[in-house]
Structure 1
Amino acid sequence: MALSNAQVASRYGQALFDVAESQEATPQIATELAELKTVIEQQPELLVFFTSPQITAEAKKELLASLQASASELVSNLLQMLSDYQRLQNVSEIIDEFNRLYDEKNGTVRVKVTTAIELDDDQKTKLSAKFAQVVGANKVVLEPVVDKKIIGGVILRSKDNIYDGSVKSKIDNIKRLLLN
């Protein structure tokens, strides 16, 4: 029975997290995985290369070796295992699962912040501190997005919650009330 992508990500992510924890290396591995994910996001053709049947096994091994050269032993072993089991296409989801477990352990919440204008550092700091208070997190990591369609205000989206304080949603609510 074949595993779904979500099952693969969950199992490998959990195993990687457990091994990193046992080696007391989770912060270093999290940093390294973030760098790897950035490379994958900037060059999506990398995963196409590894999954393409037209590319020779030798060429794939050479590219894998170049990725492993700067990696820690743990991440290098993960990449090798994913290559051996032809699961390299799941590496982004595995990294996401590792990050989810790491954030959960550290009380970190990731929040997508949508505003009509770009926030300055002071605004980000205050928003982060206030949201951490509201959700009871030790740390809040903001992912800012600018969307002029919301007119003003802010929309906060975390894994579990959406807080919509945008002017657009308030106008839409007033419009709905007037039409009823």
Structure 2
Amino acid sequence: MALSNAEVASRYGQALFDVAESKDITSQTAAELAELQKVIEEQPDLLVFFVSPQITNEAKKEMLQSLQSNASQLVNDFLQMLFDYGRLQNVSDIIDEFNRLNDDKNGTVRVRVTTAIKLDDEQKAKISAKFAQVVGASKVVLEPVVDEKIIGGVVLRSQDNIYDGSVKSKIDKIKRLLLN
């Protein structure tokens, strides 16, 4: 029975996190994985290259070696294992799972903040501090997004939670009340 992408990400991400934690190198590993994730985002065809049957195994090995050239032993072994088991196409999801586990350990919450205008650093700091207080996090990492359609206010998305304080949602609520 084949594993789903979520199962692969969960198992491999947990295993990678456990090994990094046992060696007390989670922050170093997280930084390396962030660089790897950046390369993958900048070169989306890279993962297609690894799963393409038209590409020779030797060419794939050469590309893998270039990815491994500056990696730590753990990340090097991780990439080699994914290559050997034909799981390189899952690397982004596995990195996301590793980051989620690392965030849980460190009390970090990642939040997408949608506003109608660009936030300055002071506004980001206030939102971050208030949200950390609300959810009991020791650190909040904001991902700001500008969407003029919300008119004003703020929409916060964190994992499976949405906190919608936008003017648009308030107007929509009033419309629903008036129509009922």
Instruction: Give the equivalent residue in structure 2 for 1:37.
Output: 37
Instruction: Give the equivalent residue in structure 2 for 1:20.
Output: 20
Q: Distance in 1 between matches of 2:179 and 2:15?
A: 54
Alignment map for 1:46-61 (pairs within 5 Å): 46-61=46-61
The number of aligned residues is: 180
Runs of 4+ in 1 over 3 A off after TM superposition: none
Q: Distance in 2 between matches of 1:124 and 1:17?
A: 30
Instruction: Give the equivalent residue in structure 1 for 2:106.
Output: 106
Q: Distance in 1 between matches of 2:95 and 2:61?
A: 21
Q: Distance in 2 between matches of 1:77 and 1:126?
A: 41
Can you list the C-alpha shifts for 1:113-162, whole angstroms capped at 9, x where unaligned? 00001101110011000000000000001011110000000000101321
Alignment map for 1:59-138 (pairs within 5 Å): 59-138=59-138
Describe the SS at the equivalent of 2:53: coil
Describe the SS at the equivalent of 2:54: coil
Can you list the C-alpha shifts for 1:85-126, whole angstroms capped at 9, x where unaligned? 110000000000100100000000110100001101110011
Kindly state the Cα deviation for residue 179 of structure 1 after the two structures are TM-superposed. Answer: 1.4
Q: Percent identity?
A: 80
Q: Distance in 1 between matches of 2:105 and 2:160?
A: 16
The letter for the 1-side match of 2:60 is K
Structure 1 spans left out of the alignment, 5+ residues: none
The letter for the 1-side match of 2:162 is I
Q: Distance in 2 between matches of 1:4 and 1:26?
A: 26
170-179 vs 18-27, which moves further: 170-179
Q: Distance in 2 between matches of 1:123 and 1:63?
A: 43
In the superposition, the TM-score normalised over structure 1's length comes to 0.98
Can you list the C-alpha shifts for 1:52-72, whole angstroms capped at 9, x where unaligned? 000011110101000000111
Q: Distance in 2 between matches of 1:160 and 1:126?
A: 22
Structure 2 spans left out of the alignment, 5+ residues: none
Describe the SS at the equivalent of 1:165: strand
The letter for the 1-side match of 2:102 is Y
Describe the SS at the equivalent of 2:112: strand
Describe the SS at the equivalent of 1:102: helix
Q: Distance in 2 between matches of 1:101 and 1:61?
A: 30
